[in-house]
Amino acid sequence: MNKTVTLAQGNGGEENNELITKVFYKAFKNEILEKSEDAAVIEDGKFAFSTDSFTVSPIFFPGSDIGKLSICGTCNDLAMMGAKPKYLTVGIIIEEGFSIKNLEKIVRSMKKELEINGAIIVSGDTKVMPKGTIDKILINTTGIGEILYSGISSNSITEDDTILVSRDIGCHGATIFASREGIELDSELKSDCASLFPIVKKLIDAGVNITALRDATRGGVAAVLNEWAKQSDICIEVDEESIPVSQEVYGMCEMLGFEATALANEGTFCLAIKKEDGQKAIEILKEFNLDATTIAKVTSKHPQKVILNSSYGTQRFLDTPSGELLPRIC
């Protein structure tokens, strides 16, 4: 590992994991933390507890803004453990000179998203930093949720499970890239940023046998599948053709040389469902997005690895993304 922190270590991929393991886990060692779930399960399985910080730039982008993201991010982490988001805290750090109008816009987005989740903000903190010391605004949200479906764990996936995805992938990452300065593109792209609790609630209410859920944030679907493969010591074999990608995201990926599976999502999640409930789960997911589909099966071919099977008989590994996400040139 380097002597100074690099940008890559914030990417949600390999380097990020290295930093977390070698610095943070090392110091904060405990059983709950080491489970590495989306949210911590505390008080004997009664509650889920999670935190997330939001540094997205630009702060307003097609389909969302940093406010909506800050609520979705934490609430989704709770929902991924089968918990109903109940209480959130928020810490906001604002750069001197930030427009109050924009601040109110952000706060309005947060309010709307809280309502969708049925959660409330019960405590908060505000700091203002001198101009130039931070980039406009940073938000941290921490949430507690009441677990409605216990036992969800990324460490328990087996060959009895089938792997699904809730909608087409890569929208958020592609949108952010398109909105950034320096790459002037004009497209129909929109972030997929959305609260996932309503979908999770429907799955729970329908009695679907859920093994694991994880939203595919930084590092994308590739990161999630690899985390699952490692944590559950399984092989995940993906049917490459089945992965849903929209035309616009496909176009962005072509243009900049990305793989859609490495792009971040903020309203898309992977599911590991007991095979017999697979169809039922897809039907429910399709009520929210028609692109929901089965993408992979669990085998023991190459434990701890994810394999992509092409439609014409070749195979390759799908690895956790690494490095800063840079467009390929040549």
Binding site for another protein (CB under 8 A): 4-8, 14-15, 18, 178, 182-189, 241, 247-248, 250-252, 254-257, 302, 307, 310-317, 319, 322-324, 326-330
CB nearer to another protein: pick between 29 and 328: 328
Helix (H) or strand (E) holding 252: helix 247-256
* Contact assessment for residue 243 and residue 220, using Cβ atoms and an 8 Å cutoff: no
Q: At what angle do helices 197-205 and 278-286 cross, to 10 degrees?
A: 140
Distances (CA, A) of 310 to 194, 236, 239, 255: 31, 14, 7, 22
CB nearer to another protein: pick between 291 and 319: 319
Q: Taking the mean position of all CA atoms in its chain, how far away is CA 248?
A: 20
Least gap, CB of 191 to another protein (angstroms):
15
Q: What is residue 275's DSSP assignment?
A: G
CB nearer to another protein: pick between 166 and 175: 175
Least gap, CB of 307 to another protein (angstroms):
7
Distances (CA, A) of 1 to 23, 33, 313: 10, 22, 38
Least gap, CB of 153 to another protein (angstroms):
28
Which sign does the torsion angle of CA 316, 265, 287, 199 carry?
Answer: positive
Least gap, CB of 46 to another protein (angstroms):
39
CB nearer to another protein: pick between 140 and 191: 191
CB nearer to another protein: pick between 126 and 300: 300
Least gap, CB of 291 to another protein (angstroms):
16
Cα–Cα distance measured from residue 153 to residue 136, given in angstroms and rounded to the nearest whole number: 36
108 Cβ partners below 8 Å, 6+ apart?
A: 67
CB nearer to another protein: pick between 233 and 283: 233
Least gap, CB of 188 to another protein (angstroms):
5
